[in-house]
Structure 1
Amino acid sequence: MNITNPYAQAGWAGSNGSAPLPSIYGALPFSSPSSGPSIYQFQFVSFSPDILNCTVLGPQSKPYFRLVDNAPSHNFTLLQDRDGKSLAVVEWRQSPGAVVEIRDIIRKQLVSSWLPLSADRKYRYMNALNRTFVWVPQNGNVGLYTYGTTTPELYARFVRAEGGVTLEITSTAIQIGLLESCVMAVALLQSGRFID
């Protein structure tokens, strides 16, 4: 009998440390204080008609961001916080291409410069906070990893499913200021619009 764990006394499976606890976030591994950073889930929902006009729900399914595509011209898409304050903007131009700016994170630049496609067209780089990351598709989702390190670290991943898109992001990524960049990147990569 394990006297330090009251759940073990009740005989609950996995409570004695012999079996891993199930993931509460789907494909990502279960997170505990000893296994690494926490994982937070953000859901892009209520597309009207697409991801460029939607609500982003954060933890406890509370509205966290809004993506707003100005109609009828659709020349701009804004990322707003829950209070309606603009955090980022995409200007949809024909030539030389769409331009993005994320306040205090990314200066105004072409989306194709911020999220450039690799030479082999298999992944995309993302430049934010004076660092380079890489979005890599694999096994039905797209993961954001550190770039230029011997052991790439997974910071976030997103998957499209019925009813919307889900972004899972680590507490480490949020702490260093990547949340808005990840939300904007997911919106652009899932927009169906030409971004190169």
Structure 2
Amino acid sequence: MSFTTNPYAQAGWASHDSTPSIFSSPAVPSIHQFRFTNLNPNILDCTVVGPRSVPYFRVTNNSPTPNFTLFQNQEGKSIAVIEWRESTGPVVEVRDIIRKQFVATWLQLSSNRQYRFMQVHDRTFVWMPKGENVELYTYGTGSPVFYAKLSRTRREVVLDMTSAAVQEGLLDCCVVAGVLLQSGRLIE
């Protein structure tokens, strides 16, 4: 058997100096961008707009109740709340996804203080700093898979999410985590 014969040429594919790979390159995931805009004066009071600049969420702080940050969807329904407790640390709840619990439990800091775990739908994800950004990856499943990235510009915070992350129902939790991680407040 000769190993010098190009099986790709025998199959009718054009012969090139380099043999084509039988392994496809990983597909670049489709990204959906959500922008935290109209920061008034910060991310705790803002509008989250999605693709085509459609408003997805409204985030309001101290309205209607002091020490609470409320998240409403585009229909005006409350989907999440953060209660800012000074004595015990903030508490978070995301309707039908995250039961009421301490933020320090939901976004648990790793023992080496390098990243934060996030539990959603019985799955574990990890928010990791990467340069000036914070990125979300799967955790505990062989190779980590990129799901989202938080970045900041002078005027807004940007959340880029893969289609997989959106389809798996992570949007609400990523928006809430984004507000917490970019709030500048202690979340422990």
In the superposition, the TM-score normalised over structure 1's length comes to 0.80
Per the alignment, residue 86 of structure 1 pairs with: 78
Q: In the alignment, is residue 161 of structure 1 matched against residue 153 of structure 2?
A: yes
User: After alignment, is 47-56 or 65-74 more displaced?
Assistant: 65-74
Report the alpha carbon displacement of residue 36 of structure 1 after superposing the two structures with TM. 4.8
Q: Any stretches of 5+ residues in structure 1 without a counterpart?
A: 1-33
Per the alignment, residue 124 of structure 2 pairs with: 132
Aligned residues: 163
**How does 1:22-171 map onto structure 2 within 5 Å?**
35-71=27-63, 74-171=66-163
Per the alignment, residue 174 of structure 1 pairs with: 166
Secondary structure of the residue that 2:82 maps to in structure 1? strand
Q: CA RMSD in A?
A: 1.4
8 Å CA contact retained: 2:32, 2:160: yes
Secondary structure of the residue that 1:42 maps to in structure 2? strand
Report the alpha carbon displacement of residue 74 of structure 1 after superposing the two structures with TM. 3.5
Q: Any stretches of 5+ residues in structure 2 without a counterpart?
A: 1-25
Larger CA Rg, structure 1 vs 2: 2
8 Å CA contact retained: 2:63, 2:69: no
Tell me the alpha carbon deviations over residues 94-132 of structure 1, each in whole angstroms, 9 at most, x when there is no partner. 222110000111000000000011111111111111111
Paired-residue identity, %: 56
In the superposition, the TM-score normalised over structure 2's length comes to 0.83
